[in-house]
Each structure stands twice: as C-alpha cells, then as structure tokens.
C-alpha cells in the first residue's frame, strides 16, 4: 500500500482516514467497527447516545453513560483494530462521557463544538492518573489551536496528541461565524495556519503533532492533496460514510442525501449556538419561518442551549432524523452531500478511495 499510516502517539491507523463522529445516532457501533475493520479509524458519536437505552426517559444522563459503555463493548466485539469516540464539548455531560471513554480504554477521543480545555483536570478529579486514550481537539482556526495548546501546556505540562482541522465544508455544527461562511476560508489555508501555530509546541515537546484535515474531503484525489500537497497526516471524512449500508442511520436519512440537489444543502442556526449545515426539508423551512416546535427540556443536554428561546429541541430533532422521522427532524450533512448518488458498503467506499489515491499518485509522477 502506497499510503502512509496515521500515527497518533502509539496508536497506528493503517489507512490515514478517520470516520468523523456523527450524532445523534448516525455513527454507532455498526459503522465504527466496519470502518476500523477496513484499517481506517471508526468513531462512535457520544452525542445523545442514551436514546439507545431503556433508561433514557427516566434518567438521560445515566442512559448516556451506559449506552456509551455498551456501544464501546460492541465495537470491541466486532474489531480488534483501534477506534475512537467523538464527544462534543458543548454537551453538559462532556466530562462524564470523556471519563467513561477513557476508563473503557478507547484509543482516541475526538472533541469538538467548543474548546476542550478541562480535559486533564476532569480526569485528575476523577482519580485517573494514567490513560491510553489519545486526545484530538477539533479546531477551525490557528487561534483556537493556540488557545488549546497554550492552556494544556501551561496547566497540565502536556499537549494534545494531535488536532483535527475542520473547515467550512463540514457537516453538522461548524466552528465559524455565520458571516465568515459567506466568504469561507479554504481548509488547506487553515491547516497551514495551524501548522505555523503548532511549530512552537513541536519544538518544545520534541515531537510531531499530527494534523488531520476535515470538511469537504470527497475522493482519493482530495486525500492526496491533503496529505501530499499540504502535508497533513490524515483526513477525517463523514458525509461519504453516511451513504454506506453499515451507517447506523435509518435508510430514510441516507435517502435524504441521495435525493438532495446542491441548493438543498443549507446553513441553519442551531440551538447549540453555532451555525450548522443540513439538508433542507419542511421541518427546517418551518423553523426558518418562525414556527416554534413545542417541547419541554428535560435535562438541558447542552451547556449552550437556552431552551426558553430555542425554536426546537435539537437533540430530539436529530434523534428523530436518525430514526428516519424527518417530518420531525432534519439531516445534518456536509457541503458535498448532494454528490451522493448511491449507497455502498464501507469496504467498497474504502477500496474506491484508495484506488483514486493511487491514481492521483500515478498522475503526479507522469
């Protein structure tokens, strides 16, 4: 194989592709283990995962922890390869989910939708002194990388094990202001900026900090550009993995991608407090028109959501969507989701990406 493995500390991922975590309920054990079995890194999404457990109605926080533990066990039962968990910093039980993942010995924890500053202090408070889990924050600017790395260096005398640089073409919540998305930066320019920022800590800690590029990586040629053109260590891809048989979402969620035209991929204002990208549907049109979807907030799952003002419950809308109830929810999607025209197996997708990558290498060597 003509592609360099992705090394995050002592974790080696044979194919340098991370399957982006997708909440709620889109990347669970089926997708994550299928991806890891193909040599890339499968990733569970911890967001709202408790809906899988019967305790969900009564005690959502506890249900989240038990469901995460059970999903981790199921991935482990299906693959011996490394895998990861994606935990949103904006979740009100971020720390507890992180501690659960670390205690279960998950290989990689990927943390976005906020700056993961309190990671090591949370572990220490929980009495955890050693861990095998590698930590990857998601950033969308050199500035965010600087804040996180400075904080960790100053307060913990260690630094994160790598970083995912997510650009404006990603799906789900975006780390950009709505105005910035009108004239979006190129993700590869952000990577260059992050590289400049991280050079200081690479020197200080005398080690390479792997950078993984996310957002709009579509084919093997894009992977080639990210790795061989910009010098990234790997890519994170999500939208392509939705259109696989193994993806844990309902068939109707996948069909929303297949049916979508370019103009159907829209920005939304999320109750998380960040813009998001999704496939337009009647639910979103009604929200946009000011229709408030009635709900009672049972447990304030997001630190950043003001449920008295939010026009709908995002946790509920995303859980409905994952189950195929798109009348009462919507599908998050990357900018390229309209390009999806069929569902394939994870193996077929991975084979295609690697073939395209090889072709890109051959073309460059002509």
Ligand X SMILES: Cc1cc2nc3c(=O)[nH]c(=O)nc-3n(C[C@H](O)[C@H](O)[C@H](O)COP(=O)(O)O)c2cc1C
138 touches ligand X by CB under 6 A: yes
Task: Assess contact for 173 and 276: CB atoms under 8 A.
Answer: yes
Other CB atoms within 10 Å distance of the CB of residue 303: 15
174 touches ligand X by CB under 6 A: no
Three-state DSSP state, 45? strand
- For 300, counting Cβ atoms within 10 Å of its Cβ (0-12 exposed, 13-18 middle, 19+ buried), the class is exposed
244 touches ligand X by CB under 6 A: no
DSSP state of 135: E
Residue-by-residue DSSP string for 321-363:
HHTT-GGG---B--TTGGG----B-HHHHHHHHHHHHHHHHHH
Complex with ligand X: residue 66 or 353, whichever CB lies closer: 353
The window from 62-70, 121-129, 332-340, 355-363 that contacts ligand X (CB under 6 A) reads 332-340
211 touches ligand X by CB under 6 A: no
Among 17, 88, 120, 268, binds ligand X (CB under 6 A): 88
Among 39, 171, 175, 271, binds ligand X (CB under 6 A): 171
String of contacts with ligand X for each residue 290-329, x by CB under 6 A: ----------------------------------------
Complex with ligand X: residue 202 or 351, whichever CB lies closer: 351
| Rounded Cα distance, 223 and 16, in Å | 9
172 touches ligand X by CB under 6 A: yes
97 touches ligand X by CB under 6 A: no
84 touches ligand X by CB under 6 A: no
**320 membership: H or E segment, kind and range:** helix 314-322
**CA terminus-to-terminus distance, the chain:** 19
Among 50, 114, 271, 334, binds ligand X (CB under 6 A): 334
Contacts of 362 (CB under 8 A, 6+ apart): none
DSSP-derived pairing of the beta strands 275-279 and 42-45: unpaired
CB of residue 262 to ligand X, shortest distance in Å: 14
Contacts (CB under 6 A) with ligand X, residues 10-69:
20-23, 26, 45, 47
Using CB under 6 A as the criterion, which residues of the chain lie in contact with ligand X when the complex forms?
20-23, 26, 45, 47, 86, 88, 112-113, 138, 166, 169-172, 214-217, 236-239, 242, 332-334, 336
């Amino acid at each position: 194989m003509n592609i360099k493995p992705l090394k995050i500390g002592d974790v080696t991922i044979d194919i340098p592709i991370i399957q982006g975590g997708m909440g709620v309920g889109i990347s669970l054990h089926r997708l994550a283990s299928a991806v890891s079995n193909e040599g890339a890194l499968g990733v569970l999404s911890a967001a709202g995962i408790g809906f899988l457990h019967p305790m969900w109605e009564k005690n959502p926080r506890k249900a989240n922890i038990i469901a995460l533990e059970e999903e981790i066990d199921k991935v482990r039962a299906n693959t011996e390869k490394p895998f990861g968990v994606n935990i949103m910093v904006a979740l009100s039980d971020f720390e507890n989910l992180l501690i659960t993942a670390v205690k279960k010995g998950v290989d990689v924890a990927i943390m976005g939708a906020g700056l993961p500053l309190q990671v090591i202090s949370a572990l220490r408070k929980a009495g955890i002194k050693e861990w095998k889990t590698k930590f990857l924050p998601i950033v969308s600017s050199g500035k965010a990388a600087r804040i996180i790395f400075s904080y960790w260096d100053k307060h913990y005398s260690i630094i994160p094990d790598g970083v995912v640089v997510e650009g404006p073409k990603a799906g789900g919540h975006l780390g950009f202001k709505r105005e910035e998305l009108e004239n979006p930066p190129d993700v590869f320019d952000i990577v260059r900026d992050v590289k400049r920022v991280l050079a200081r800590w690479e020197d200080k800690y005398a080690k390479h900090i792997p950078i993984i590029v996310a957002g709009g990586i579509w084919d093997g040629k894009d992977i080639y550009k990210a790795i061989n053109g910009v010098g990234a260590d790997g890519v994170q891809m999500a939208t392509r993995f939705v259109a696989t048989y193994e993806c844990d979402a309902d068939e109707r969620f996948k069909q929303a991608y297949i049916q979508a035209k370019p103009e159907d991929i829209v920005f939304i204002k999320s109750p998380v407090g960040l813009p998001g990208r999704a496939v337009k549907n009647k639910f979103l049109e009604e929200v946009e028109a000011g229709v408030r979807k009635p709900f009672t907030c049972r447990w304030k799952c997001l630190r950043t959501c003001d449920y008295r003002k939010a026009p709908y419950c995002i946790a509920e809308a995303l859980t409905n969507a994952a189950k195929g109830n798109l009348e009462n929810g919507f599908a998050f999607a990357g900018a390229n989701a309209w390009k999806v025209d069929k569902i394939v197996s994870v193996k077929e997708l991975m084979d295609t990406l690697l073939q395209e990558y090889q072709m890109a290498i051959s073309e460059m060597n002509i």
